[in-house]
Amino acid sequence: MGGRAISEIVFDAPGIARRVEELGREITVHYPEGDLLVLGLLKGSFIFLADLVRTIRRPHSVDFLVVSSYGEGTTSSGRVQLVYDPGTDLAGKHILVVEDIIDSGNTVNRLARVLLDRQPRSLEVCALLHKRLGAPLVVEPRFVGFDAPPDFLVGYGLDHAEAFRHLPFVASIKE
C-alpha cells in the first residue's frame, strides 16, 4: 500500500453505523415532501451512501457524480475535475449531495455552483466527515457525520491511491 500504514482508528465501525442511522432520521424529517435525489460523489462516498440511503425512510432516487481532486497525493490538488456527470434533470427537485469528506472545500464549492445552475428546488450537502479547514463553502453541509481531525483519513470508502477503502472504520495513516 505504497509504504502507508494505519496509525490509529479515528471512528470505529459501531460508531459510524450509529451516526449513519441518525443522519438517515434527520434527512427523513428534513424532506417531508417533494422529489428527493441523492447524489453520491464517487468513489469515496459509495459505502457511506449505500448505508445512508437504506436509513432514509421516504421515497428518493439515487445517482452519482465522479469528481477528482487528489490523484495519488495526500493533499487536494486544488483542481476539481467533474469526470462523470449524469445529466439528470435537477430542476424542481430536492438535491442532497453525499460526500465522504470535506477537506479544502474545493470539491463542494465547484459542485454547488454547477448544481445550482440547474435550478433545483433545494441543494443540501451531507458529509460523513468535515475537517472544517477551508474557507466558507457555497453550500455549508446541513448534515455532518463527524468533525474530523486534520490527519489524512482512510477507510469506510476513503482511500489513499485506491487502497484502504475496504476498512469498516475510519483511520489515520502514516508513512
Q: Are 171 and 152 in contact (CB under 8 A)?
A: no
Q: Are 169 and 16 in contact (CB under 8 A)?
A: yes
Q: How far apart are CA 72 and CA 151, in angstroms?
A: 16
Q: Are 129 and 154 in contact (CB under 8 A)?
A: no
Show which residues are catalytic: 103
Q: Are 158 and 131 in contact (CB under 8 A)?
A: no
Q: What's the DSSP call for residue 73?
A: S
